[in-house]
């Protein structure tokens, strides 16, 4: 299935980044959010992202200008009816996502592919809120979407084979590494990464080693480009804790459960880079 127009629902950091990626790939993009101020903020993120790419020599002014011209941003969800694929990037909670997919079923033509950018929730559970679960897939972009190369393309037990193949080809055509995976807790990356980051926190408490020393050990001993504590701060400790909790609920494996230290830091507002302080101080 050839996909021309892309719909994006939710214009926060992830949604705006996904919209920018699709614009740079030459797609017409219809981006929507419920609140006018969210739409305005999202457009600002997209324009700033394109401008940054121009400043770094990754895009020409002409390409960026053409990309901006292909963007329609609106609060009217009916505009999504023109899209061949709609990618949801709203709040990471099951009930709102299911409600959105039910509404997309009413708005979008029968052949539209519906995709969720969830990082930890069950794609099958989200699809169950829709009248066409066979046309629902997961497209898990990583943050920041314009820079991170990976997209996990998630298949459920009921997804149509041609729909999944189209979603995989769409992600690859964006210039991403499109990796297929099953709809299991954490998919691939978080299934592997979450317990490692949790182990790092527990090792810090059990051994008395500092975050700095553990990060240095993993960088220079294991060849990681960034240590686990610096990575957790970059991702956001609240995001990590939420994903950890979701995967633990799905698997009930102890290593997946968020450590008490992590939960205390989230409760205290120590969320990492975005808050100015996490395991490191960024003030």
The question of whether 190 is a catalytic residue gets the answer yes
Write down the catalytic residue from 119, 122, 166, 244: 119
Residue pLDDT, tens place only, 83-130: 999 999 999 999 999 999 999 999 999 999 999 999 989 999 999 989
CB-based burial, 2-36: b 16+ in 10 Å, e otherwise: ebebbbbbbbebbbbbbbbbbbbeebbbbbbbeee
Residue pLDDT, tens place only, 17-45: 999 999 999 999 999 999 999 999 999 99
Write down the catalytic residue from 117, 190, 198, 244: 190
Write down the catalytic residue from 140, 240, 242, 244: 140
Across the chain, mean pLDDT equals 96
The question of whether 119 is a catalytic residue gets the answer yes
Residue pLDDT, tens place only, 156-213: 999 999 999 999 999 999 999 999 999 999 999 999 999 999 999 999 999 999 999 9
User: Which pLDDT does position 103 carry in this prediction?
Assistant: 94
The question of whether 205 is a catalytic residue gets the answer no
Q: Is the dihedral of CA 106, 135, 15, 190 positive or negative?
A: positive
Q: Where in the chain is the domain with CATH 1.10.1040.10?
A: 189-275
User: Which pLDDT does position 129 carry in this prediction?
Assistant: 81
- The share of the chain scoring above pLDDT 90, in percent, equals 96
- Secondary structure in 3-state letters for the chain: CCCCEEEEECCCHHHHHHHHHHHHCCCEEEEECCCHHHHHHHHHHHHHHHHHHHHCCCCCHHHHHHHHHCEEEECCHHHHHHCCEEEECCCCCHHHHHHHHHHHHHHCCCCCEEEECCCCCCHHHHHCCCCCHHHEEEEEECCCCCCCCEEEEEECCCCCHHHHHHHHHHHHHCCCEEEEEECCCCCCHHHHHHHHHHHHHHHHHHHCCCHHHHHHHHHHHCCCCCCHHHHHHHHCHHHHHHHHHHHHHHHCCHHHCCCHHHHHHHHCCCCEHHHCECCCECC
Give the CATH fold of the 5-182 domain.
Rossmann fold (3.40.50)
Residue pLDDT, tens place only, 258-278: 999 999 999 999 999 999 999
Asked if CATH classification 1.10.1040.10 holds for the domain at 189-275, the reply, yes or no, is: yes
Under the banding of pLDDT at 50, 70 and 90, the label for residue 63 is very high
The question of whether 140 is a catalytic residue gets the answer yes
Residue pLDDT, tens place only, 69-81: 999 999 999 999 9
Q: Where in the chain is the domain with CATH 3.40.50.720?
A: 5-182
Residue pLDDT, tens place only, 2-17: 789 999 999 999 999 9
Q: CA 6, CA 173: separation in Å to the nearest integer?
A: 13
User: Which pLDDT does position 45 carry in this prediction?
Assistant: 97
Global confidence as pTM: 0.92
Write down the catalytic residue from 152, 198, 240, 242: 152
User: Which pLDDT does position 143 carry in this prediction?
Assistant: 87
Q: What are phi and psi of 178, to 5 degrees?
A: -95, 110
How do beta strands 85-88 and 113-116 pair?
parallel
Please say whether the beta carbons of 155 and 141 come within 8 A: no
Report the C-alpha dihedral over residues 131, 135, 140, 145, rounded to 10 degrees.
-100
Six-digit token string for 226 = 């960034």
* Section 251-257 average pLDDT: 95
User: Which pLDDT does position 1 carry in this prediction?
Assistant: 66
Q: CA 210, CA 274: separation in Å to the nearest integer?
A: 21
């Amino acid at each position: 299935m050839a996909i021309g127009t892309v719909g994006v629902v939710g214009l926060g950091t992830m949604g705006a980044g996904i919209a920018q990626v699709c614009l740079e790939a030459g797609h017409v993009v219809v981006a929507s959010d419920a609140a006018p101020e969210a739409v305005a903020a999202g457009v600002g993120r997209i324009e700033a992202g394109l401008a940054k790419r121009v400043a770094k020599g990754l895009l020409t002014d002409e390409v960026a200008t053409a990309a901006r011209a292909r963007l329609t941003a609106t609060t009217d969800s009916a505009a999504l009816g023109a899209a061949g694929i709609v990618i949801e990037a709203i709040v990471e909670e099951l009930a709102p996502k299911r409600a959105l997919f039910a509404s997309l079923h009413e708005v979008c033509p029968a052949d539209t592919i519906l995709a969720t950018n969830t990082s930890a929730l069950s794609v099958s559970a989200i699809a169950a809120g829709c009248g066409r679960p066979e046309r629902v897939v997961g497209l898990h972009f990583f943050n920041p979407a314009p820079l991170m190369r990976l997209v996990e393309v998630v298949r459920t037990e009921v997804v149509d084979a041609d729909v999944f193949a189209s979603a995989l080809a769409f992600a690859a055509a964006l210039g991403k590494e499109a990796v297929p995976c099953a709809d299991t807790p954490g998919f691939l990356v978080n299934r592997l990464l979450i317990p490692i980051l949790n182990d790092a926190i527990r090792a810090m408490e059990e051994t008395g080693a500092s975050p700095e020393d553990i990060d240095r050990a993993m960088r220079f001993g294991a060849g990681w480009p960034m240590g686990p504590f610096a990575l957790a701060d970059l991702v956001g400790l609240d995001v990590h804790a939420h994903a950890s909790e979701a995967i633990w609920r799905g698997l009930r494996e102890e290593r997946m459960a968020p450590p008490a230290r992590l939960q205390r830091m989230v409760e205290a507002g120590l969320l990492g880079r975005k808050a100015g302080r996490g395991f490191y101080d960024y003030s």
